[in-house]
């Protein structure tokens, strides 16, 4: 699209200017402006590519850290967790499954929650 517009502009100059010296000057000015514009676009593209590359590196680094964290939290021990919803404040949290544990304090409101493991042991 830019090439067509540039060529149309040069053609218009050639058709509407009779003085050859002025025509050559105008064509040079338009060409210099076009080159400056394209150089500016190239600089913007390079900066954009550099930023994208840095973002991709950061995402890769975060993914690597997340995998290590996931492995550390969920794969090292064969520990089962149970989601709990506090009946007093509706806070959601996880606790380690332990059928001997009969109550726990809510980390948000500090109320004591009675635990009923029910048939949980049968599900395992």
Residue 4 pLDDT = 92
Surface-to-core class of residue 82, CB atoms within 10 Å of its CB (0-12 exposed, 13-18 middle, 19+ buried): middle
How many domains does the chain contain in total? 2
Residue 63 pLDDT = 95
Residue 97 pLDDT = 83
- Residue found under tokens 């049968």: 122
| Boundaries of domain holding 118 | 81-123
Residue 81 pLDDT = 80
- 66 shares a domain with 87: no
- 86 shares a domain with 71: no
> Could you list the pLDDT tens digit for every one of the 124 residues in the chain?
888 999 999 999 999 999 999 999 999 999 999 999 999 999 999 999 999 999 999 999 999 999 888 877 776 556 678 899 999 999 999 988 887 888 999 999 999 999 887 654 444 4
pTM above 0.75, yes or no: no
Residue 65 pLDDT = 93
Is residue 99 a contact partner of residue 80, using CB atoms and an 8 Å limit?
no
List Cβ neighbours of 3 (8 Å cut-off, separation of 6 or more).
Answer: none
- 67 shares a domain with 91: no
Q: What gap in Å lies between CA 36 and CA 45, rounded to an integer?
A: 14
- 7 shares a domain with 67: yes
């Amino acid at each position: 699209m830019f090439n067509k517009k540039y060529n149309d502009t040069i053609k218009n100059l050639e058709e509407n200017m009779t003085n050859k010296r002025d025509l050559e000057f105008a064509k040079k000015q338009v060409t210099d402006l076009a080159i400056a514009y394209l150089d500016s676009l190239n600089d913007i593209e390079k900066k954009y590519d550099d930023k994208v590359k840095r973002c991709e590196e950061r995402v890769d680094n975060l993914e690597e850290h997340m995998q290590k964290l996931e492995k550390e939290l969920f794969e090292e021990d064969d520990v089962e967790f149970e989601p709990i919803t506090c009946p007093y404040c509706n806070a959601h949290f996880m606790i380690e499954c332990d059928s001997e544990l009969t109550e726990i304090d809510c980390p948000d409101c500090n109320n004591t929650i009675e635990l009923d493991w029910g048939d949980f042991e049968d599900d395992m």
